[in-house]
Amino acid sequence: MSEKFDVIVIGAGPAGYHAAIRAAQLGMKVACIDAALGKDGKPALGGTCLRVGCIPSKALLDSSRQFWNLGHIFGEHGITTKDAAIDVGTMVGRKDKIVKQFTGGIASLFKANKITPYYGFAVLHPNKVVKVAQHEGGEIELTATNIIIAAGSDSIELPFAKFGEHIVDNVGALDFTAVPKRFGVIGAGVIGLELGSVWNRLGAEVTILEALPTFLAAADAEVGKVSAREFKKQKLDIRLGAKVSATEVKKDGVHVTYTDDKGEQTIVVDKLLVAVGRRAATKNLLAEGTGVKLDARGMIEVDAHCHTGVDGIWAVGDCVRGPMLAHKGFEEGIAVAELIAGLPGHVNFDTIPWVIYTEPEIAWVGKTEEQLKADGVPYKAGSFPFAAVGRAVAMAEPAGFVKVLAHAETDRILGMHLVGANVSELVHEGVLAMEFKGSAEDLARICHAHPSLSEAVHDAAMAVDKRAIHKAN
Ligand code: NAD
């Protein structure tokens, strides 16, 4: 006999736990299954984001930022310290405590919402049957009217750089026991830049090898240019057009061979992070005959409403098309739960913000200048540097800028691009304005507190019509 639910969610990561909680709020009987274990070997809900992604990396970014400030910014404020040191064990322990707090928080939320958790690996079978190989032993069979697959994603492993003690993915790079003297990274994407920054700030010599010839190719070109300049000042050695072909773990470190326009070269590092993207975690997830289709990259095929085309089966988050971002998964999870309840669930893919938590932070929403040019959309750009914002200079954080892109005829905001302190928060001015179909003039006429970093957004919006007050237009 299989236990029957209204909704079964496979995966308790950002997309899955949002779907489960929203479905429970809407009065449905919900089960949520997750196979992950925490560092202590016990089941841990929250997915990659909470266990080994967004939250732990931010904990380390914040710890390393404090240490970096001590050596690089405190002096400007007249503060001097002697013999500053970082205790990596304490830093990692703090990170682990935060992870435990938040993964435990999901378990409490499940309890409060009467969601039944199952711990083990779930396989979807035909006729909406889910079989779970439970960690506690034995297989259990569940069925539901609706099943939401939120299986997430795994790091891509390169055939010539197998993960082990010295070659790691994002999970390994969160748990070093000491600062590596030489830290290599393959891939100057989001993970490479964030974790490269953590260990660079703590004193590692960091070399990042990026296959593409352009830095941050997905971002607005000006964002790429300005942030590359800042990273160079921090001595992050980013080598573009560098195609890695081999690695070998030897006594003196990991030998990494790559080819760039100067020919074949080798670097030797103590630890190597491979951060070349992630792939949908759909291996062994679907039994024969479910009717759910995977695309060539192993992603579950869905329509605009996250429906798989098989009655009652939906998929959300990293295992379906779209950016692999926790907050995109949040929105899809909520939308699907609402659609199941007969409500108008919806995700606006045009206003999903991107944030890279480096120093300075990088964030954007909407179209880049390059995309608008390629699409033949007439636009106006207004930008404003943080170096002219009183609050930013008072904080000793003058790097970066805000750029607002608006339609040349309608003035509607089409994109906002930011580099600077706290832009992970400021980008939401752009998200909100775009959601409300706002114009650059709308933003320019909204009173912003002085002194605040948000004045850069205000002046950038004013600069769209060449009327920024604090710079020559
Ligand atoms: P990514 O796609 O952001 O970057 C991977 C980079 O590796 C790319 O620049 C690519 O050109 C490069 N690359 C690929 N193969 C290579 C090779 N053989 N040699 C050298 N370079 C190579 O992927 P990621 O950094 O691994 O992150 C994975 C996912 O996790 C992304 O989708 C990302 O959005 C998400 N994530 C987001 C955040 C955030 O929002 N702050 C943080 C971490 C991860």
User: Cis bond leading into 117, ω under 30°?
Assistant: no
In a domain, 470, yes or no: no
Judgement on whether residues 272 and 284 belong to the same structural domain of the protein: no
Q: Is residue 472 part of a domain?
A: no
- pTM to 2 decimals? 0.97
pLDDT tens per residue, range 39-51: 999 999 999 999 9
Q: Would residue 52 count as lying in a domain?
A: yes
Q: How many domains does the chain have?
A: 3
Catalytic residue numbers read: 450
Q: CA-to-CA distance for 140 and 129, rounded, in angstroms?
A: 10
Question: Whose structure tokens read 């089960």?
Answer: 31
Ligand 1: atom nearest CA of 258 is: 19
Among candidate residues 276, 296, 312, the one where a domain is terminated? 276
Q: Are 176 and 233 part of one and the same domain?
A: yes
Amino acid 418: pLDDT: 99
Q: pLDDT tens digits, residue range 53-75?
A: 999 999 999 999 999 999 999 99
Name the residue of 191, 195, 427 to mutate for ligand 1: max ligand atoms within 8 A of Cβ: 191
Sheet holding 361-366, edge to edge: 354-356, 361-366, 413-420, 401-407, 379-385
270 shares a domain with 173 = yes
Domain boundary among the residues 291, 315, 347 is at 347
In a shared domain, residues 308 and 377: no
Is 310 found in the same domain as 179? no
Domain-located, residue 292: yes
Which residues of the chain carry a pLDDT beneath 70?
1
Q: Are residues 387 and 330 in the same domain?
A: no
Q: Are 382 and 415 in contact (CB under 8 A)?
A: no
Domain containing 130 — which CATH number?
Answer: 3.50.50.60
**pLDDT score for 2:** 85
If you take atom 26 of ligand 1, which residue's CA is the nearest one? 277
Question: Which pLDDT score, from 0 to 100, does residue 176 have?
Answer: 98
| Residues 288, 146 share a domain | yes
Tell me, yes or no, whether 143 and 272 share the same domain. Answer: no
Q: How high is the pLDDT of residue 463?
A: 98
Do 12 and 146 fall within a single domain? yes
Contact 174, 261 (CB under 8 A): no
32 and 116 within one domain: yes
The whole-angstrom separation of Cα 172 and Cα 164 is: 9
Check: CB of residue 272 under 8 Å from CB of residue 160: no
Is the four-CA dihedral 417, 421, 425, 429 of positive or negative sign? negative
Domain boundary among the residues 276, 309, 335 is at: 276
Write down the H helix ranges in 183-220: 190-201
Assigned domain for 265 exists = yes
Domain ranges, residue 240: 167-276
Taking the C-alpha atoms of residue 280 and residue 300, their distance in angstroms, rounded to an integer, is: 8
Nearest CA to ligand 1 atom 23: 277
Q: Say if 473 falls within a structural domain.
A: no
Q: What is the atom index within ligand 1 of the atom nearest the CA of 192?
A: 25
Q: From the CA of 324, give the closest atom in ligand 1.
A: 32
| Distance in Å, CA 451 to ligand 1 centroid | 36
| 28 & 142 share domain | yes
Give the model's pLDDT for residue 15. 98
Residue 160 falls inside a structural domain: no
Q: Which residues have CB under 6 Å of ligand 1? A: 158, 186-192, 194, 209-212, 243-244, 275-278, 323-325, 355-357
Question: Best of 156, 243, 278, 321 to mutate for ligand 1, by most ligand atoms within 8 A of CB?
Answer: 278
Calculate how far, in angstroms, residue 106's C-alpha sits from the geometric centre of ligand 1.
27
Residue 161 falls inside a structural domain: no
User: In this predicted structure, what is the pLDDT of residue 229?
Assistant: 97
Residues 24 and 148 placed together within one structural domain of the fold: yes
Q: Which atom of ligand 1 is nearest to the CA of 53?
A: 43
Closest CA to 177 of 186, 185, 166, 163: 166
